[in-house]
């Protein structure tokens, strides 16, 4: 009998050279480059191309790629009309999954996915990648206006990826500091080895489904509170605590009841998530830039982290990437229920890098199971039961 490991914990699902985690030391690298170096020196556009192609691009290659992203931000009005007919109260992740899946109907091209050699069509793979990454942010920003009964703001090609998203979301010239912070947040969320949503990408890709359906499936997986939805839960938790002086009682009560402390702990890391360290520094930068005039949620978060470190560090539980990201998004004017959608916008880069890698050496996933049901039985007619 095959050994059963719940959650496939520690079971290799693929070979990859995209990213790597050293959970004991708290190190995350993209294509061998430490995340800290990319956050400090790179841009989301450059990091995206690094993840997709495997090497830091030349200035010419980066400019060409950036130009392609900018020219593909606009979506057909059919997508906008579809979004207008979705319930305004629906969660942005449900909207995003629906809209991305629909792109395959409005932007055909899936006929290339007919055999295991599909990954060899580099033009097809590249073009599909560019279109999806460019339009993810557009769709998320459009939803903020559409669900409130307004026509969305058109994207601008003179702005960076992060700047354009903030412009489309708020309708104002983007604050340069907030745009830079968002750019770093996108880098931090772009890739993280074989997590649940990326595993979904591998499985769906292996069937030669369209990349739109591959990403749509990953969005559904990311939406759960045990994956991408945790950053929304962190802000809700901090709001519920209310003030720093109430944090200790709140945390101790949850620990006593064995309830989750949102934003704390990660299956891969036995020390503080390296992404959380970078995000915390971004919070501090924002505090300094604004002369300490920022959301009091920051102070609550710092006290909560100190309390949790005192109570949980011995168990290897520290702050993860979700703990500070939602706080920063709040400062950018991003609604709480849009946090996970922003996560998806960034992670589409990693998903599509794995899609490309899977196509190059594809074999459909077909895991086995450990059967624990009845042995063979004889059917009993209904009048004899």
The CATH number of residue 217's host domain is 1.10.580.10
CATH number of domain containing 296: 1.10.230.10
Question: Tens of pLDDT along 211-232?
Answer: 999 999 999 999 987 777 778 8
Residue numbers annotated as active site: 266, 322
Residue 10: inside a domain? no
Same domain, 256 and 298: yes
| Full DSSP string of 167-199 | HHHHSSPPPHHHHHHHHHHHHHHS--SS-HHHH
Please tell me the predicted confidence (pLDDT) of residue 92.
Answer: 96
Same domain, 236 and 218: no
Same domain, 324 and 243: yes
Same domain, 91 and 162: yes
| pTM confidence score | 0.92
Strand-strand pairing, 19-22 and 27-30? antiparallel
Segments forming the whole domain that contains residue 282: 230-331
Strand-strand pairing, 27-30 and 33-34? antiparallel
Residue 322: inside a domain? yes
Nearest to 119 by CA among 288, 301, 360: 360
Q: Which residues of 27-48 are buried (b: 16+ CB within 10 A; e: fewer)?
A: ebbbbebebbebbeebbbbbbb
Q: What would you report as the CA-atom Rg of the chain, rounded to the nearest whole angstrom?
A: 22
Question: Tens of pLDDT along 88-116?
Answer: 999 999 999 999 999 988 876 655 565 55
Please tell me the predicted confidence (pLDDT) of residue 115.
Answer: 54
Residue 279: inside a domain? yes
Same domain, 341 and 242: no
Same domain, 176 and 99: yes
Residue 131 has pLDDT above 80, yes or no: yes
Residue 370: inside a domain? no
Confidence of residue 260 (pLDDT cuts 50, 70, 90): confident
Confidence of residue 1 (pLDDT cuts 50, 70, 90): very low
Residues 370 and 4: beta-carbon distance below 8 Å: yes
Residue 315 has pLDDT above 80, yes or no: yes
Confidence of residue 238 (pLDDT cuts 50, 70, 90): very high
Question: Tens of pLDDT along 12-65?
Answer: 999 999 999 999 999 999 999 999 999 999 999 999 999 999 999 999 999 999
Residue 324: inside a domain? yes
Provide mean pLDDT across the span 182-201.
96
Q: At what angle do helices 44-53 and 339-360 cross, to 10 degrees?
A: 30
Residue 2 has pLDDT above 80, yes or no: no
Residue 152: inside a domain? yes
Torsion over CA of 272, 276, 277 and 280, rounded to 10 degrees? -140
Nearest to 259 by CA among 306, 210, 225: 225
Residue 1: inside a domain? no
Helix residue ranges per DSSP H, 244-338: 247-256, 274-289, 297-312, 321-331
Structure tokens that stand for 319 in this block: 């702050």
CA distance 180 to 174: 10
Provide mean pLDDT across the span 155-183.
96
Structure tokens that stand for 365 in this block: 């996933």
| Number of domains observed in the structure of the chain | 2
Strand partners, 305: none
Residue 351 has pLDDT above 50, yes or no: yes
Same domain, 215 and 250: no
DSSP H or E segment with residue 20? strand 19-22
User: Considering only 137-141, 153-157, 231-235, which range has the smallest mean pLDDT?
Assistant: 231-235
Residue 305: inside a domain? yes
E strands present in 63-132: none
């Amino acid at each position: 009998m095959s050994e059963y490991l719940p959650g496939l914990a520690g079971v290799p699902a693929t070979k990859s050279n995209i990213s790597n985690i050293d959970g004991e030391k708290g190190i995350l690298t993209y294509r061998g480059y430490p995340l800290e170096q990319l956050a400090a020196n790179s841009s989301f556009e450059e990091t995206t191309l690094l993840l997709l192609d495997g090497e830091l691009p030349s200035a010419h290659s980066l400019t060409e790629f950036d130009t392609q992203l900018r020219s593909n931000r606009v979506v057909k009005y059919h997508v906008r009309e579809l979004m207008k007919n979705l319930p305004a109260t629906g969660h942005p992740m449900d909207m995003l999954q629906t809209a991305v899946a629909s792109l395959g109907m409005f932007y055909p091209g899936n006929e290339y996915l007919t055999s295991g050699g599909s990954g060899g069509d580099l033009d097809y793979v590249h073009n599909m990648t560019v279109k999806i990454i460019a339009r993810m942010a557009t769709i998320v920003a459009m939803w903020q206006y559409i669900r409130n009964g307004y026509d969305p703001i058109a994207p601008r090609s003179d702005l960076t990826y992060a700047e354009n998203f903030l412009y489309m979301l708020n309708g104002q010239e983007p604050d340069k500091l907030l745009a830079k912070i968002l750019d770093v947040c996108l880098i931090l969320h772009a890739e993280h080895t074989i997590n649940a949503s990326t595993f979904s990408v591998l499985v769906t890709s292996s069937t030669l489904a369209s990349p739109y359906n591959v990403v749509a499936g990953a969005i559904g997986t990311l939406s759960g509170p045990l994956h991408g939805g945790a950053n929304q839960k962190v802000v809700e938790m901090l709001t519920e605590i209310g003030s720093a002086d109430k944090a200790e009682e709140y945390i101790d009560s949850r620990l006593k009841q064995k309830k989750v402390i949102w934003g704390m702990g990660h299956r891969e890391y036995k020390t503080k998530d390296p992404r959380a360290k970078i995000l915390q520094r971004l919070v501090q930068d924002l505090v300094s830039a604004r002369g300490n005039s920022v959301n009091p949620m920051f102070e609550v978060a710092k006290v909560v982290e100190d309390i949790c470190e005192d109570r949980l560090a011995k168990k290897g539980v520290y702050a993860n990437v979700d703990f500070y990201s939602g706080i920063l998004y709040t400062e950018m004017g991003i609604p709480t229920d849009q946090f996970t959608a922003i996560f998806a916008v960034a992670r589409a880069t990693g998903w599509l890098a794995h899609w490309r890698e899977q196509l190059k050496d594809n074999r459909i996933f077909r895991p086995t199971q450990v059967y624990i049901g009845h042995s063979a039985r004889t059917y009993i007619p209904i009048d004899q039961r």
